[in-house]
């Protein structure tokens, strides 16, 4: 596989219009509240903006313990190998959403995926040459209306098609803080639900390196998965196994995988242009 160019080509802006809200299109979906644009970071200062947003969400909201090399920034060793997708509010210029993407070529350079640190991915070894890892997804709290994440997903779909990649993998976090109490019961309950409805076939299943002790937790709570996980499942994602416990991020992480071939027909034109 040819190594991907870094940075990738910029993406067209997504602008809010009444017509755009009611028809599928090949550009990025619009978000209520104004014009937004999705672009790939080209300079370090743009990456720093994404890292500041990540710190605000992960440390400020979720209580993650981050080893911040730069105050107020979430930075780890994978960042310099990743491409960083950002959504910016055009009127203010503020970065309001981000993903980082680790391509197969860059994963070889860094030596692993981030997901390798949480799960034994040996059963996925045959997929690695066409598999990208998505991570550090977050949206500014004032913009969690669905439009930003749809814009991110549209950009990711175009990226996958443009570079002949067809599998996405990542760790989807379930906060351990629920109703003011730190507990794994919510994650255990969500895992119990999803293993009955969205579990991947055995040949794709993985094992956590630090398992959340789901059998010792109350897995019968009437809770729903977080909106981001529900969105992935609507797009055809599968759960690859039980959650890992991430004490630094104060979360339980579910391993998810989505193949573009599993994308439901109603979403294919929207995200892939089919």
180-198 pLDDT, tens per residue?
A: 777 899 999 999 999 999 9
43-73 pLDDT, tens per residue?
A: 999 999 999 999 999 999 888 888 878 999 9
Secondary structure (3-state) at 108: helix
As a whole-number percent, the residues of the chain with pLDDT over 90 amount to: 73
Average pLDDT over all residues of the chain: 86
Give the span between the Cα atoms of 142 and 31, in whole angstroms: 12
Sketch out the chain's domains with CATH numbers. 13-272 (3.40.630.30)
Residue 2: is its pLDDT beyond 80?
Answer: no
Beta strand 167-175 pairing with 131-139:
parallel
Which residues have a Cβ under 8 Å from the Cβ of 231 and sit 6 or more positions away? 149, 153
Give the span between the Cα atoms of 111 and 81, in whole angstroms: 10
63-109 pLDDT, tens per residue?
A: 888 887 899 999 999 999 999 999 999 999 999 999 999 999 999 99
Q: What is the mean pLDDT of residues 25-36?
A: 53
- Please report, to the nearest 10 degrees, the dihedral formed by the alpha carbons of residues 93, 95, 96, 99 taken in order: 150
In the chain, what is the straight-line distance between the N-terminal and C-terminal CA atoms, in Å?
23
Question: pLDDT confidence of 33, banded at 50, 70, 90?
Answer: low
Predicted confidence at residue 102, as pLDDT, reads 97
Predicted confidence at residue 235, as pLDDT, reads 93
Residue 3: is its pLDDT beyond 50?
Answer: no
Q: What is the mean pLDDT of residues 134-154?
A: 91
Predicted confidence at residue 8, as pLDDT, reads 44
Question: pLDDT confidence of 16, banded at 50, 70, 90?
Answer: very low
Computed over its alpha carbons, how large is the radius of gyration of the chain?
Answer: 18
Under 8 Å between Cβ of 206 and 169? no
């Amino acid at each position: 596989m040819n190594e991907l160019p870094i940075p990738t080509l910029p993406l067209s802006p997504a602008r809010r219009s009444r017509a755009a809200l009611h028809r599928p299109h090949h550009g990025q979906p619009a978000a209520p509240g104004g014009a937004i644009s999705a672009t790939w970071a080209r300079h370090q200062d743009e990456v720093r903006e994404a890292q500041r947003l990540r710190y605000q969400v992960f440390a400020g909201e979720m209580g993650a313990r981050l080893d911040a090399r730069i105050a107020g920034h979430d930075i780890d060793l994978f960042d310099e190998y990743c491409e960083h997708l950002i959504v910016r509010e055009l009127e203010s210029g503020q970065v309001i959403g981000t993903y980082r993407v680790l391509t197969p070529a860059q994963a070889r350079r860094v030596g692993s995926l981030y997901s390798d640190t949480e799960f034994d991915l040996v059963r996925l070894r045959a997929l690695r040459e066409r598999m990208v890892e998505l991570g550090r997804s977050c949206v500014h709290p004032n913009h969690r209306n669905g439009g930003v994440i749809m814009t991110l997903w549209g950009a990711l779909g175009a990226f996958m098609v443009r570079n002949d990649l067809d599998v996405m993998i990542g760790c989807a976090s379930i906060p351990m803080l629920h109703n003011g109490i730190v507990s794994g019961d919510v994650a255990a309950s969500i895992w119990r639900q999803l293993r009955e409805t969205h579990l991947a076939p055995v040949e794709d299943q993985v094992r956590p390196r630090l398992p959340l002790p789901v059998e010792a937790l109350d897995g019968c709570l009437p809770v729903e998965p977080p909106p981001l996980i529900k969105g992935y499942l609507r797009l055809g994602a599968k759960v690859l196994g039980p959650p890992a416990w991430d004490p630094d991020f104060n979360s339980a992480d579910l391993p998810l995988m989505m193949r573009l071939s599993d994308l439901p027909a109603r979403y294919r034109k929207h995200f892939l242009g089919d």
